[in-house]
Amino acid sequence: MEKIEFIKQINTKRKAVKNEWYYINTDFNNRHILIKGFGTWLQVFTIDGVDYSNGMDMSVREFNNHLSKSL
């Protein structure tokens, strides 16, 4: 799966549960991804145990850029 495709799946999950927490626990490109998010806030975002969490007030564009750079 391509990175763009994976980011689209994350956004689909985020949009499906507006104003609720969402969780993603999966492998992507041989790396373990763990996400606990609320909207664009990635309270927990780890890749192979390394923390890539972000702030609460990111725009969708900043959110997508953060995902893209981190992955």
- pLDDT at site 36: 98
Task: Tell me the pLDDT tens digit for each residue of 45-67.
Answer: 999 999 999 989 999 999 999 99
Mean pLDDT of 25-39: 96
Mean pLDDT of 13-22: 96
Mean pLDDT of the chain: 95
pLDDT of 1 higher than 80: no
Q: What are phi and psi of 7, to 5 degrees?
A: -65, -40
Would you list the domain boundaries of the chain?
3-70
Q: What are phi and psi of 57, to 5 degrees?
A: -110, 35
Sheet of 31-38: strand order equals 21-28, 31-38, 41-47, 50-51
Reported pTM: 0.91
CA angle 35, 38, 40 (to 5 degrees): 85
Mean pLDDT of 26-30: 95
Spatial distance between the Cα atoms of 19 and 38, rounded to a whole number of angstroms: 7
